[in-house]
Amino acid sequence: MSLILLAEQVLNGLQFGIMLFLMAAGLTLVFGVMGLINLAHGSLFMIGAFAAAAVAGATGSFLLALIAALAAAAAAGALVEVLVIRRLYARDHLDQVLATFALILIFSESTRWLFGSFPLFLNIPETLSGPVTLPGGIQYSLYRLTLIAIGLAVAFGLFLLISRTRLGIRIRAGESDREMIAALGVDISKLYTIVFALGAALAGLAGALVGAIQSVQVGMGEPVLILAFVVIVIGGIGSIKGALVGAILVGLTDTLGKLLLPLFFGLFMDNASATSTGSALASMSIYILMAIVLVMKPSGLYGARA
Amino acid sequence: MTDPQTPVLETRNICKSFDALKASQDISLDLRAGEIHALIGPNGAGKSTLIAQIAGGLKPDSGTVHLNGRDVTALPTAKRAQLGLGRTFQVSALAMEDTVLQNAVLGALGAQGRPFRLFRSALADARLREVAEQALERVGLQDHARTRTSELSHGQRRQLEVAVALTLDPKAFVMDEPMAGLGASGSKALTGFLDSLREQAPILMVEHDMDAVFALADRISVLVYGQIIATGSVADIRANPEVRSAYLGEDA
Amino acid sequence: MTRETLINSALALALLLVPLWAYSADEPFIITLATKVAILALAGVGLNIALGLGGLVSLGHAAFFGIGGYAMGILASHAQSYTAITDWPLLIEGTKSMPVIWLVAVVASGITALLIGALSLRTSGVYFIMITLAFGQMLYYFAISWAAYGGEDGLSIYVRNGFPGLNTLDPIQFFAITFVLLLAALLFAARLANSPFGLALNAARQSPQRVETIGLSPYRLRLVAFVISGMITGLAGALFADLNRFVSPTMFSWQTSGEIMVFIILGGTARLFGPVAGAALFIILEHILGGLSEFWHIYLGVLLLLVVLFAKGGVIGTLAGQDKAHD
């Protein structure tokens, strides 16, 4: 195996992780502030991807597609928050799981009804297509590199938002003490809608960005959602920093596991069985990572509760 | 029986901090056979933290907890309960959907220590039921056995808390504000009952109701800012100038 | 007899009479639907022990359903191809005998539940939900990548497995098997709820502090409940695979976990017959709405949403009223 291949896979893992972060950040924020577990977060990812594919198909502009994805996911998020989600804050987790499971059914089937069962395709914009040569002679997709940059910029922006702005102060206050923040005269239901829509917009953005490197189809959100859960379990609920670290760990483990485990088993097995054993184990690697973190730190790497 | 000189329950030099906050500073406290020992102090003094370390919910940073002379510092709550630590909570921790009798039978089941029987009906088990019904009778809840716990009054829940603790036949009681939220008459009734209970097992009690404390306590310890500033009889504590300025002066 | 007991008896009777009527009217498809209800209800009875009694919101019970299914698939596929599963360290061959398959399914899902439970139960609340979901997904991907047993395509078993003395290919006889197993599981669940274990588990759901204070470990109680729960759902998985004569990774999917949970909620959480009512309603809806529209899941979603938001007791709760206190 060449070092160049390894470097390329590390970048792939990083890119995957950063996209997971966009999903996990919204989930963990919504859980931290409102105490809500939202299974329909994957639907918002899907909505972002479909909105982007539809707008890109109609206008040919990737930038407009991204804006549409953000707007559509944020609007869908705000709408369900007002109609359904806010009735769930005071409910137990079981109700939240079931109601948001119901939302998945509604979102997925409505999308299938609107767009059909065939996947849509979202093309990488002209200016970002093709490879660039990185230091060390590594050829790497410019688009994927851009994803990493966008994701890191969003992460940086979120840190600033939470630590520096008034909205951030309210979010942090909302995490620690709901009654306190209501007593301070902040309109709590408006704050909740904003936080939920913000999380939704991040999911929609991730959906649109990822939509250009895979097919856009119904059901694309849930596998990512479950990986985002793994990220949150590893990072610790409510922690943006934990989400970032967890996401990158998961992204790297998954990508490198798929590359390295078959090679590792190839050292003492014949080729065919090394490939099958290696890839079977690789598909489980991130969950094994999660199990290890659970044994060492049940509340996650940056979790608040011991 | 252990040596009568050995305290039934004892903490030795317990320290516990949360970041910069020193919640317990070098606390040594003992509970002797036949006594009621009241722990008082202003809000935020660290009473709940101390109780949690004694009952097993929290581990001290340093220092040890002893039950009948045995070091139980490393043992979890359930183990300490098996060794004879009976506890009641400030906010009732009962199975609210269950009946009063079910809660008491649950206590008996814990005392019996064989919870993994899957087929027999728990309420049809004569031995469990007998222990449970006796405990209910002692606190005067026998007529409410089939009432759902959530339908009990506040005072009755307190009684049930004590009844569940009684089913365990504990060697020592730890009670977190047993009088909280009771009216004057309820508080008086419970005071009478606890008075008779000390013969069975000594009681370490956190309490804000000073009438109850002065009526019941053999000894009082005063906790302020994570430190025991005084321990002594009711008269000692009433006369202690330090206590008066630090605590009673503000409150009473 | 309380109202709930009456409703339960009516449900059991209906589940028995409908296929009997279908048998006399020569409607084998209806018998198959009833069989499906019995099997899915069985899966729900399993989950309900963890969820209803123990308050453990497991969103990964597809793991056990799938393991039960694959236990059947692996044993039967080796039997139909006359190959051994392994010949080292000792020879293990496939089988077409249902009782043996059930035993393997129950033991394998029990062991898996022990492992998953031991890890997941270190946490609680929303962590527990996410972790069980993740472990379910892990087995899903494992099944997909397990090429020896069909990978993504799954395994087809050409002839239904046998039960001594019965012709399992006859729909009504196979239904009888599933119906009896469902009744046995319901009887077990009912006794469990009133047993010392059930009392302690139920108390651990309401007040874990209380259970610790009387000297019991909530963790152990929950772990045992989780294992029992997984075993029953695993048995249902083996039957489901036999019904379809097919297993695939779909049995492990998160949708399967969600649907098993939906049966319980539609029927009524923590109600003994909740899963039966819920599974029946689900299959009826699937049959009627599915006939009207390809997109019937939208209606299912709306219905589920309404039940969660406005009719918490589900079918049985709405019909039977408030749960009474036990005596």
Would you call C212 and B77 a contact, using CB atoms and an 8 Å cutoff? Answer: yes
In a domain, C309, yes or no: yes
CATH at residue B226: 3.40.50.300
Would you call C305 and A99 a contact, using CB atoms and an 8 Å cutoff? Answer: yes
Lookup result for tokens 């390894």 = A6
* C127 contacts in chain A (CB < 8 Å): 233, 237, 298-300
- Strands B21-31 and B9-18 come out as antiparallel
| C313: CB partners within 8 A, 6+ apart | C268, C269, C271, C320
Distances (CA, A) of B162 to A241, B143, B156, C206, C208: 46, 16, 10, 18, 17
Does B178 lie in the same domain as B163? no
Least CA distance to C208: which residue of chain B?
B93
At C161, the amino acid letter reads N
End-to-end CA distance of chain C: 14
Domain that holds residue B247: 1-84+172-252
Choose the final residue of a domain: B149, B169, B189.
Answer: B169
* A231 contacts in chain C (CB < 8 Å): none
In a domain, B89, yes or no: no
In a domain, C37, yes or no: yes
Q: What is the DSSP string of A263-300?
A: HHHHTTS-HHHHHHHHHHHHHHHHHHHHHHHHHH-TT-
Task: Annotate B146-166 with b (16+ C-beta within 10 A) or e (fewer).
Answer: ebbbeebeebbbbbbbbbbbb
Q: Count how many domains chain C has.
A: 1
Q: Is A214 helix (H, G, I), strand (E, B) or coil?
A: coil
Does B249 lie in the same domain as B137? no
Would you call C216 and B109 a contact, using CB atoms and an 8 Å cutoff? Answer: yes
What would the 3-class secondary structure string for C110-134 be? HHHHHHHHHHHCCCCHHHHHHHHHH
Q: What is the pLDDT along chain A (306 residues), one digit of tens a residue?
A: 578 888 999 999 999 999 999 999 999 989 888 889 999 999 999 999 999 999 999 998 999 999 999 999 999 999 999 999 999 998 999 999 999 999 999 999 999 999 988 899 888 888 888 888 888 788 889 999 999 999 999 999 999 998 888 888 877 777 766 666 666 667 788 889 999 999 999 999 999 999 999 899 999 999 999 999 999 999 998 888 999 999 999 999 999 999 999 888 888 888 888 888 888 888 889 999 999 998 888 888 987 643
Across the interface, which of C203, C209, C325 has its CB nearest the CB of B106? C203
In a domain, C326, yes or no: no
Q: Are A41 and A231 in contact (CB under 8 A)?
A: no
Torsion angle in degrees (nearest 10) through CA of A265, A270, A276, A279: 30
Q: Is A32 helix (H, G, I), strand (E, B) or coil?
A: helix
| Residue A110 contacts C where some CB pair is shorter than 8 Å | yes
Q: What is the CA radius of gyration of chain B?
A: 18
B140-175 pLDDT, tens digit each: 899 999 999 999 988 888 889 999 999 999 999 999
pLDDT, average across residues B10-33: 91
Does B131 lie in the same domain as B31? no
In a domain, C64, yes or no: yes
CATH class of A3-296: mainly alpha
Q: Count how many domains chain B has.
A: 2
C283/C152 Cα distance (integer angstroms): 26
- Strands B219-224 and B227-232 come out as antiparallel
Q: Is omega for the bond preceding B115 within 30 degrees of 0, making it cis? A: no
- The interface residues of chain B toward chain C in range 194-233, judged by CB-CB distance below 8 A, are none
Choose the final residue of a domain: B137, B153, B169.
Answer: B169
Does B104 lie in the same domain as B165? yes
Q: What is the pLDDT of residue C324?
A: 47
Strand order in the sheet with B36-40: B85-88, B172-176, B203-206, B36-40, B219-224, B227-232
In a domain, C325, yes or no: no
Tell me the pTM: 0.93
Distances (CA, A) of C327 to A8, B156, B157, C204: 67, 19, 18, 19
* C267 contacts in chain A (CB < 8 Å): none
B190-227 pLDDT, tens digit each: 888 899 898 889 999 999 888 889 999 999 999 988 99
Q: How far off is chain C from B14, nearest CA to CA, in Å?
A: 21
Query: DSSP class of residue B149?
Result: G
Distances (CA, A) of C75 to A105, C69, C140, C142: 35, 10, 19, 18
C48/C182 Cα distance (integer angstroms): 13
Q: Is A10 helix (H, G, I), strand (E, B) or coil?
A: helix
Does B100 lie in the same domain as B163? yes
C160/C241 Cα distance (integer angstroms): 9
In a domain, B108, yes or no: yes
Does B247 lie in the same domain as B176? yes
- Show which residues on chain C lie within 8 Å of chain B, measured between beta carbons: 191-192, 194-200, 202-203, 206-207, 209-217, 221, 224, 228, 323, 325-327
C276/C186 Cα distance (integer angstroms): 10
ipTM > 0.85 (yes/no): yes
Would you call C51 and A94 a contact, using CB atoms and an 8 Å cutoff? Answer: yes
A66/A47 Cα distance (integer angstroms): 12
Does B195 lie in the same domain as B75? yes
| B178: CB partners within 8 A, 6+ apart | B88, B158, B161, B162, B190, B194, B205, B207
Low-confidence ranges of chain C (pLDDT < 70): 1, 322-327
Does B39 lie in the same domain as B153? no
In a domain, B248, yes or no: yes
- The interface residues of chain A toward chain C in range 78-97, judged by CB-CB distance below 8 A, are 84, 87, 93-95, 97
B73/C325 Cα distance (integer angstroms): 39
CB atoms within 10 A of CB C28: 15
Residues constituting chain A? 306
Name the more confident of C43 and B48: C43
Query: DSSP class of residue A216?
Result: B
Q: What is the pLDDT of residue B1?
A: 45
Q: Helix (H) and strand (E) counts for chain A?
A: 11, 2
- The interface residues of chain B toward chain C in range 90-129, judged by CB-CB distance below 8 A, are 93-99, 101-103, 105-107, 109-111, 113-123, 125, 128
Does B32 lie in the same domain as B157? no
Does B75 lie in the same domain as B179? yes
Q: Is B22 helix (H, G, I), strand (E, B) or coil?
A: strand
Query: DSSP class of residue B59?
Result: -
C-contacting chains (≥3 CB pairs under 8 Å):
A, B
Does B183 lie in the same domain as B160? no
Does B178 lie in the same domain as B164? no
Across the interface, which of C207, C323, C327 has its CB nearest the CB of B93? C207
Domain that holds residue C185: 3-320
In what helix (H) or strand (E) does residue B25 lie, and over which residues does it extend? strand B21-31
